[in-house]
Structure 1
Amino acid sequence: MADVIAYPALHASHGGIWIATADDCRPVGRGEAIRVAAETPVILLNAPLVGQRLGYAELSGLDLLELFAFLHPARFAVPTPAGLARAVDLSPPERDEDVASFLLEAAAALLAVPDGDWPEREGAFSSAQSLTRMRWPWAPVIGPRLTKPRVDERWLFSRLPEWEEAPPRPAPRTVEIDPAAAEARLAELTGGAAEERPGQRAYAAAATAAFAPRAMRDTPNLVLAEAGTGIGKTLGYLAPASLWSQTAGGAVWISTYTKALQRQLGAETARVYPDPVLRRERVVTRKGRENYLCLLNLEDALQGGFAGRAAVLAHLVARWAAYSVDGDMVGGDLPGWLPTLFRRNGPAALTDRRGECVYAGCPHYRKCFIERAARASAEADIVIANHALVMVNAARGRELTTRPTRYVFDEGHHLFDAADSMFATALTGSETIELRRWVLGPEAGGRGRRRGLQARLSDVASYDEGGARAIADAVQAAQGLASDGWLGRIGEGQPFGPIETLLAAVRGLAYARAEQPGDAGYGLETELAEPTPELIEAAAPAAHALDALLRPLVALGRRLEAVLAEAPDWLDAPARARVEGAIASLGWRAETVAAWLSLLARVGGPVDPDFVDWLAVDRAEGREWDVGLHRHWLDPTRPFAAIVLKPAHGALVTSATLTGGGADVEEGWQVAEARSGAPHLARAPMRFQADSPFDYPAQSEVLIVTDVKRGDVAALANAYARLIVAAGGGTLGLFTAIRRLRAVHGRIADRLAREGLPLHAQHVDPIDTGTLVDIFRDDPAASLLGTDALRDGVDVPGHSLRLVVIEGVPWPKPTVLHAARKLAGGGSAYDDRIVRARLAQAFGRLIRRADDHGAFVLLSAAMPSRLLGAFPPGVPIVRVTLDEAVARVSARLSSDARIGHEEVLPD
């Protein structure tokens, strides 16, 4: 304990700043707090957040979160005083002014961990020695408390288990799932004591149609199912899905849009497989490879590839990797707050974000988290994935023999957006420089291992003359792509090479046509129509340069296929796997370059009605970060249906807001079909709908505030503050613009702190979104401000979320792409459908359980009555002043009593 008391503890919040020592705790000013922190190590909780509140970005010290991550890798704690108190079994501080003293107490409790029964002891001593060399602030304190092991500890790369090859899984058997059997399985999953849910039973029975044998090739059994909140759709589809997988011997892929639902699904599968050992075998969560720790990148970081704070992060991640279930760095068992403690120092470099994997050429291939997940999913009954991964695997996946035949798309209302992103083309500076790095590897002055195309395929080059020539041609052609410093050069009018010249012409035309007087410094875009002579002249050399790269990439892919066919002596199983991986990587990069060429053919050429093309300069707060040409499908469900749905035998697309609200039921179903790809299939989908069992009229109301002037940030901030105080916290505030979110937060955070109401904000607090939601859920007095990422998929049942406030009608942004789809989709009716769907999703955050009560407040006098169908039938909807809204919120949320007698607007 003496080691800890030697240092003071610092706590800073919107309510004040305190410094505690072993003898006392006192409030201090910002200047004194910065001086103390600069002169002596201080104990604190979440240094980036405290530094932001002090206005001292370089604040560092003895961060208790880092110590927790070292002592308890792969464990999560809510990164707040109360959350840490629970994690270390202490009483949480009751007042803000008690937190600094509590930090000393928590530090003592954490430092006592090595003295007891400590399951994560292995590897700690050697890690502490390395961290001492890294000058980690905690190393001198924790190091002496660790005992050197009597025998050498197994280091990470020898501790991790190896995956094993397995024979190909046979094709699923053809079986028919009886709806009554699905209902019986549902009864097993819910338990005999569960409340009666007729809607859930009907849902499970209807979902069996997606698992029926298909009648014709390219004609899947498609079921569209809208299940209102509270129906219990997760267990509703897990019942027939688990029954089919166990009967047919095949895997069901359950796809989501948000990581929050992935985590929730993982927990729900415990009903299907209560035994955790069996569950790990039969249920696998899959994500894109950029989510997983790359062991080769980690080894490079540990051996000197990282320096300073990034090196400390690498060692803490190594501690985590030794205890992680699946190596998932984004939404897995790595605490989401850990990378944010190190700001931008290193997290992205520890994953494979550039597709540079060498597969079997990697010394850690047999222990690779990504490869292990891929092989585990081939043997699993349930694979929990996401929409993007499902589409990527279908379009470019290497796992052709284990391609799913049955899908469940939960959060199905997001399929259109996911397909829009997946099947888009972007010929931009950042995309071309990434391709250049993939081909060339680190160039002059670059750090890291040599992992360019030539280095990855050196053995092929030495064996096959044609392959060697293709590699050399690709390397030479890649020199014509954008290179480091491209953005500065085109800004100065000095582009280098044909691609940079093209980007300079794009930038010039975008500024000429898109920038308006009073532009706020955000992104610019303009249609790719009537291009200037400069752009047309730049397109031809750029196309020639890309064609010069495409040809050797295609030729190399063919040569690699020939090598596989010839099977030389050196082509053992690992080498074959590496060549197969290279073929897959070459294939999708060649597809990318071909798509770029198709986009360039549009410059000065005919319009393709299937696509929307535009030019853009991407900017953030006035700073440019990318320039390029963009192409999206007008209807992205066309490639989705062709690539994902048609090869499948059956798919269930489900959501609580699949039809998007609205009075016309048939129109809603037509929209649901259009946004799921159903019109592109030969067979019409089956429809199912189950309304929510909640009593929305009794549990909620919608208040439309009429006297907050649009554009008046001060009035907007005042409205948020008064409503949050009236609710006593528990408020989710939604914004359509980050700039207004930050402005409102800056005006009300201190004011709410004086009321004892913590305020957290996306795009303000240096904390990842998932952790912000965890903090919000954990504290009923807290409130959270955010954008559309919090409007969809946030599940905070109970008293922690009792008020939703949205700043205005969430109209879609008037982009070039939106304008084209609006024209094709019915004009203003298209906008109305989008807004209703967004409002329905936002309202859906409010009532998550039968005993929830709350209010939904819209700060817009201009809310059209035609959009009110977004809300559940019967919910009271009233137009009120801010004063009246505050009074109603206070009365409803303090007594949970309904307030009646006011005029209710018609739906």
Structure 2
Amino acid sequence: MNFAPYPALHASHSGVWIAHEGEVRAIGRGEAIRIAADTPVILLNAPLIGQRLGYAELSGLDLLELFAFLRPARFMVPTPKGLAAATGLDVPADDAAVAPFLRDAAARLLAIPDGDWPEREGAWTGVQALFRLRWPWAPLLADRIARPRGAERWLFTRLPEWDEAAPRPMPRVVTLDREEVDERLARLTGATREPRPGQRAYAEAAAGAFAPRVTRDSPNLVLAEAGTGIGKTLGYLAPASLWAEQAQGAVWISTYTKALQRQLAHETARLHPDPAVRRARVVTRKGRENYLCLLNLEDALQGGFTGRAAILAQLVARWAAYSADGDMVGGDLPGWLVTLFRRNGTAALTDRRGECIYAGCPHYRKCFIEHASRASVEADIVIANHALVMVNAARGREAATRPTRYVFDEGHHLFDAADAMFATALTGQETIELRRWLLGPEGGSRGRRRGLAARLSDVASYDEAGGRAIGDAVNAAQALASDGWIGRVAEGAPFGPIEALLAAVRGLVYARAEQPGDAGYGLETEIAAPTPALIDAAAPAAQALDALLRPLVTLGKRLEAVLDEAPDWMDGPARARVEGAIASLGWRAETVAAWLSLLARVGGPADADFVDWLAVDRIEGREFDIGLHRRWLDPTRPFAATVLRPAHGALVTSATLTAGGDWATAEARVGAPHLALAATRFEAASPFDYADAAEVLIVTDVKRGDQAALANAYARLIEAAGGGTLGLFTAIRRLRGVHAAIADRLARAGLPLHAQHVDPIDTGTLVDIFRDDPHASLLGTDALRDGVDVPGHSLRLVVMEGVPWPKPSVLHAARRLAGGGSAYDDRIVRARLAQAFGRLIRSAQDRGAFVLLSAAMPSRLLTAFPPGVAIVRVPLDEAIARVRERLSSGARLGHDAAPEI
């Protein structure tokens, strides 16, 4: 393949190189921008290269896009090393070698159609569509992909359809035998593995959650803390799989992070080595907003998207034809693909607005969401997440098949998940979403979105009362916030009662919450002592919402009556569509009722069960939402009522379930006190020798607030460790400042530095890049503190910028008051420190150091770290020496320079 017209460009923090016609040379950023603007260039990850050049509009022949077309539903680490693995080439030795390597990699990828190509079907149709869209790779591919002889089966004709099945009977009542649990565990762990008494005891304790329930609304609740290395995943899979097999019921295993979901799906291969059997017996479920909507995709392919977004739609269509489950978030769609089109995104390709028309959709029988829903009914193990479990319990459509047994892994996050799930927010963004759901497109807006009247036109024509309710709801929706609301509110010219309410909220928040030198982040204040202006605005807003709630409730009742009457036109698909509409209406009616309850607080008495406040949400000074908020003071109350009480048994487990407190605190954080039957407690300490594997260094001479000193400390520590560092921050602003100060310095030492909130790459892919390169380091915030699993040499140093105190807020102040004051803060910090330290030692072979850059670390919080681990307070120079000595003595890899992505 001749690439003479196409130079290859690579930019890192240490320089910029271009390869063309056999020559490789270093160039300046200005020259690189001129070349890229005038000539198509081959590159890897255009948004990242554009960011490093300071040229956001950079485009060209992006090898990631080519890979996504040629190898749909396959993942590649988006780095030169990952590309080398995908193409069978040698990894480039340094940054200067990357540019010519990109040309060789392009040739290898473009040769794929010449061989045995499993993803050939649909490629010719796809490349022709991309040619018309002027995709840069299309001319090079068009000549290499032969036109099929017959008609090419493409996406909407080749996707499989789901089949209806008889309702699954209730699970049988069984009692698990201890010896059988031990035997199942032995089969899962394998005969070659050493026996682990802690794991066996854990599995036997977990089996208690699967015992027959004795009293109604009193599930068998088992709380199990298993230290890292116990092997809790297989420990609970043993009794869970055994119960599912004997009782013929489904066990739902719920996680908080997508990383653990992926790990669980991998571990279930031990249960069912045959992939076909595993697909039937183990199903991963997520919220419907995670899955590709085929109707939205069809609209995008038929002209709903233009420009770069249209190219994204074509690449997503290629992926959808080969995807295992259509999951766009954490599934087999590479996370880096959507970031290549970050200004267009994929939100329009999923059902994020709850506008699904169910059986009214022409692709209903092929729908990925429906496939997952039906597969989970027949599965033995359903891997879900905390949010989905709570949503299904609170307002799911699958009441008849609701699970009776749960396993909540990462159980220390149940409180946070429930807090978000059972929250109420009457904000501009929320009301405008409801308006769009009710009214559909307004003005010149495009897309397939339809309003309530269009979705239920046949019901309106059949049922006169239902038709009037639809009309009343549509009329009442005119009072909700509409497009451009935030500008009108800021200018003091709101339109309608809801926008007037938001204007009053904004005025009060700025009057009470804005401080001199404010950083431009969000503002909030309590609802207590509202001004006359807010009280006056709340009354007409409440009247408007009440006028909307009434027809929504009436319409829901009329739809239920139509189902009972079963008119001639109501076939199976129509019934499913009406049932879906009833569920959606019920959800919206509950939301509006919650808004009314929140408005009653304005000028009225406080409710001790809730915390209410007003907020203006901002990013770097730019307002993006305004409204009233309500959270449960104890969100485990509704969690216990909707999820735990109806269940027969539940296991709540984590490596840090009691971190930050005692068992009473752990029970309170998962809702156990709200159940009649006391929970069973189990605890197994980690088998790791932390005293030998790690040490905690508290640096005493980095002054708080000194950004230069903080950046210098991070740079020197990363250099001492030779990379392999996870840097954790409590503020995005400081993270960005440190990254900007040290990225070039580290790059010159051959130590790539990546960062959340800086690199235009999704968090999951950043972790994959970090895991793949032992010389790389990664900076991040809370998501990395809780959700990173990087065993081995790639993570050998964790550095925290300071004590992770909870952010002061109205909600935190209320919970702090109810939870014991400063002791409540201490529990939160201990839990966060325990989670952060837990990232460091993930296997018995791991060695590392944990560094806290805070002289003000209180000694009372040091119990967050495992017993036996050495904790010393040292100046920075000594910390660096200790890190270098510890990691160099245990290192298994050298510190050769490695190219950045």
- The bucket for the TM-score relative to the shorter chain is over 0.9
Q: How far apart, in 2, do the equivalents of 1:584 and 1:450 lie? A: 18
1:384 corresponding residue in structure 2:
383
Cα drift, residue 90 of structure 1: 1.0
Once the two structures are superposed, the pairs formed by residues 322-361 of structure 1 within 5 Å of their partners are 322-361=321-360
- Name the aligned partner's letter for residue 722 of structure 2: G
Distance in 1, Cα, partners of 2:819 & 2:395: 30
* Matched letter for residue 761 of structure 1: A
Aligned runs of 1:399-798 on 2, under 5 Å?
399-661=398-660, 668-798=662-792
Partner of 1:881: 875
How far residue 896 of structure 1 moved from its aligned partner, in angstroms, is: 2.4
- Helix, strand or coil at the partner of 2:787: coil
The runs of at least 4 aligned residues of structure 1 exceeding 4 Å deviation read none
Q: Following superposition of structure 1 onto structure 2, how do residues 827-842 of structure 1 map, counting pairs within 5 Å?
A: 827-842=821-836
Matched with 1:237 is 236
Q: What CA distance in whole angstroms lies between the structure 2 residues aligned with 1:549 and 1:368?
A: 32
Report the Cα distance in structure 2 between the residues aligned to 1:203 and 1:141, rounded to whole angstroms.
Answer: 57
Which amino acid in the other structure matches residue 857 of structure 2?
A: M
Which whole-Å CA distance do the structure 1 matches of 2:121 and 2:4 have between them?
28
Checking the alignment, whether the CA contact within 8 Å between 2:723 and 2:751 is kept in structure 1 is yes
Post-superposition offset of 1:793? 2.0
* Unmatched runs of 5 consecutive residues or more in structure 1: 662-666, 898-907
Of the three residues 867, 886, 890, the one matched with 2:884 is 890
* Structure 1 residues 639-672: Cα deviation after superposition (integer angstroms, max 9, x where no partner): 00000000000000000000014xxxxx510111
Q: Provide the rounded CA distance (Å) in 1 between the counterparts of 2:177 and 2:807.
A: 46
1:619 partner SS:
strand
Bigger mean CA offset, 447-456 vs 885-894:
447-456
Contact 2:253 2:381 survives alignment (8 Å) = yes
| 1:802 alignment counterpart | 796
Distance 1:450 1:717 in 2: 48
Computed over aligned residues only, the root mean square deviation of the Cα atoms, in angstroms, reads: 0.6
**Which residue is 1:105 aligned to?**
104
Please give the residue correspondences for 1:264-413 in structure 2 after superposition, counting only pairs within 5 Å. Answer: 264-413=263-412
1:244-255 residue pairs with structure 2 within 5 A?
244-255=243-254
Q: Residue 298 of structure 1 aligns to a residue in which SS? A: helix
SS at match of 2:443: coil
The aligned counterpart of 1:821 is 815
Task: Tell me the amino acid that sits aligned with residue 629 of structure 1.
Answer: L
User: How far is the alpha carbon of 1:346 from its aligned partner?
Assistant: 3.7
Q: CA deviation at 1:196?
A: 1.7
Cα distance in 1 for residues equivalent to 2:142 and 2:408: 49
Q: Distance in 2 between matches of 1:176 and 1:390?
A: 25
Q: For the Cα contact (< 8 Å) 1:179–1:204, is it kept in 2?
A: no
The code of the aligned residue for 1:121 comes to: R
Q: Secondary structure at the match of 2:269?
A: coil
Distance 1:390 1:699 in 2: 37
**2-structure distance, mates of 1:484, 1:244:** 52
Letter in structure 1 aligned against 2:412: H
| Partner residue in 2 for 1:853 | 847
1:743 Cα deviation after fit: 0.4
In structure 1, the residue corresponding to 2:171 is in which secondary structure? Answer: coil
CA contact (8 A) 1:5 1:104 kept: no
TM-score, L = length of structure 2: 0.99
Match of 1:141 in 2: 140
Identity of aligned residues (%): 81
Cα offset for 1:88?
Answer: 1.1
- Determine helix, strand or coil for the equivalent of 1:352: coil
AA of the residue aligned to 2:764: G
Q: Distance in 1 between matches of 2:202 and 2:856?
A: 38
The Cα of 1:818 is off from its aligned counterpart by: 0.2
Segments of 5+ residues of structure 2 without an aligned counterpart are 892-901
Cα distance in structure 1, aligned partners of 2:497 and 2:39: 54
The answer as to whether partners of 2:240 and 2:251 remain within 8 angstroms in 1 is: yes
Q: Is the 8 A contact 2:78 2:769 kept in 1?
A: yes
Q: Distance in 2 between matches of 1:387 and 1:87?
A: 35
Give the secondary structure class of the aligned counterpart of 1:280. Answer: helix
Q: Which amino acid aligns with 1:574?
A: P
Shift of 1:142: 1.1
Distance 2:85 2:658 in 1: 42
CA distance in structure 2 between the aligned counterparts of 1:117 and 1:274, rounded to whole angstroms: 26
| Contact 1:77–1:83, Cα closer than 8 Å, also in 2 | yes
Letter of the aligned partner of 2:540 in structure 1? P
Q: Structure 2: which amino acid aligns with 1:888?
A: R
Query: How many Å apart are 1:94 and its aligned residue?
Result: 1.2
Q: Within 5 Å, give how 1:90-101 maps onto structure 2.
A: 90-101=89-100
- Residue 900 of structure 1 corresponds to none
Q: 1:903 — aligned with what?
A: none
- Deviation sequence 1:544-580 (CA, Å, 0-9, x none): 0000000000000000000000000000000000000
What does residue range 204-243 of structure 1 map to in structure 2 within 5 Å? 204-243=203-242
Cα distance between partner residues in 1 of 2:200 and 2:183: 9
SS in 2 for 1:558: helix
Using the TM superposition, give the Cα deviation of residue 195 of structure 1 relative to its aligned residue in structure 2, in angstroms.
Answer: 1.4
For residues 473-493 of structure 1, give each alpha carbon's deviation from its aligned partner in whole angstroms, at most 9, with x where no partner exists: 000000000000000001000
AA paired with 2:231?
G
**Is the 8 Å Cα contact of residues 355 and 449 (structure 2) preserved in structure 1?**
no
Contact 1:436 1:479 in 2 (8 A): yes
Residue 352 of structure 2 aligns to which amino acid in structure 1?
Answer: R
Corresponding residue of 1:844: 838
> CA offsets, 1:505-527, max 9 Å, x none?
00000000000011011000000
Q: Which amino acid aligns with 2:686?
A: S
| CA contact 1:224–1:688 (8 Å) conserved in 2 | yes
What's 1:904 paired with? Answer: none
Aligned mates of 2:457, 2:175 — CA distance in 1? 51
Once the two structures are superposed, what CA deviation does each residue of 1:197-248 show, in whole Å capped at 9, x if it has no partner? 1100000000010000110110000000000000000000000000000000
SS in structure 1 opposite 2:545?
helix
Structure 1 residue 184: deviation in Å? 1.1
Residue aligned with 2:816, SS? helix
- Identify the residue that residue 896 of structure 2 maps to in structure 1: none
Structure 2 contact 8–103 (Cα < 8 Å) conserved: yes
CA deviation map 1:731-752 (0-9, x unaligned): 0000000000000000000000
CA-CA distance at 1:450 after TM superposition: 4.4
Report the AA paired with residue 581 of structure 1: G
Q: How many pairs align? A: 891
Aligned residue type for 2:146? T
Q: Is the 8 A contact 2:785 2:839 kept in 1?
A: yes
Report the Cα distance in structure 1 between the residues aligned to 2:868 and 2:14, rounded to whole angstroms: 41
TM superposition shift of 1:783: 0.1
Aligned to 1:905: none
Separation (CA, whole Å) in 2 of partners of 1:61 and 1:795: 34
CA distance 1:35–1:463, shift in 2 (3 Å): same
Could you tell me whether the CA contact under 8 Å between 1:306 and 1:346 is conserved in 2?
A: no
Q: Give the CA deviation at 1:860.
A: 0.1
Residue 899 of structure 2 corresponds to none
1:9-88 aligned within 5 A: 9-88=8-87
